[in-house]
Amino acid sequence: MEDFKRILYPVALTDISPKVAPYVVTLARQLDAQVHLLHVLRRFDWFVDTYVSDPPEPDFKRIASDFESQVLSQAQRKLDAFEKRHLSGIQIAGKAVVSGTHYKQILNYVESEGIDLIVMGTGTPIQKVMFGSVAEKVSRLATVPVMLIKVA
């Protein structure tokens, strides 16, 4: 049996997150494990590059970059508040807010931080149809075990 000492909890900061948190807390306590929190935002310049080919006035790329910085700061504050409210009493070894493709950023974090186990919630069927399933991609591509928490 694997020794799970570094758990990654990709926090979506949606209504699913508080439902997954008790499982993360229980696992961390039972396994005496450290927890890493990761929140991933989609890069805003992706939308600008996709939909705006010629740089018009005003400079949408700069505006998107400034807006992304503000959203990253706000997401960090929300992640801090989420940690205080739902994850007290466990050891948080790492916490990051990054932008990029969700499943890729999660897999990169696993590799760079030596994560042993990923614990994440699954979205509703409607979310899966509209956006695809990050959890499905992560569970299929991860090199470490993935525990999916079904929340309805």
Selected from 3.40.50.2000, 3.20.20.240, 3.40.50.620, 3.30.470.10, the CATH number assigned to the domain covering 6-150 reads: 3.40.50.620
Average pLDDT of the residues in 127-134: 61
DSSP string, 78-118: HHHHHHHHH-TTS-EEEEEEEES-HHHHHHHHHHHHT-SEE
CA distance 125 to 145: 23
Q: What is the pLDDT of residues 84-98, one digit of tens each?
A: 999 999 999 999 999
What per-residue confidence (pLDDT) applies to 68? 73
Q: What is the pLDDT of residues 46-73, one digit of tens each?
A: 444 455 555 556 655 665 566 778 888 9
Structural domain spans, the chain: 6-150
5: tokens are 């000492």
Q: How confident is the model at residue 137 (pLDDT cuts 50, 70, 90)?
A: very high
* Residue 96 to residues 3, 29, 109, 143, Cα–Cα distance (Å): 24, 21, 9, 21
pTM for this predicted structure: 0.83
Q: Which residues contact 9 (CB under 8 A, 6 or more apart)?
A: 20, 21, 24, 35, 36, 37, 38, 118, 119, 120
What per-residue confidence (pLDDT) applies to 130? 45
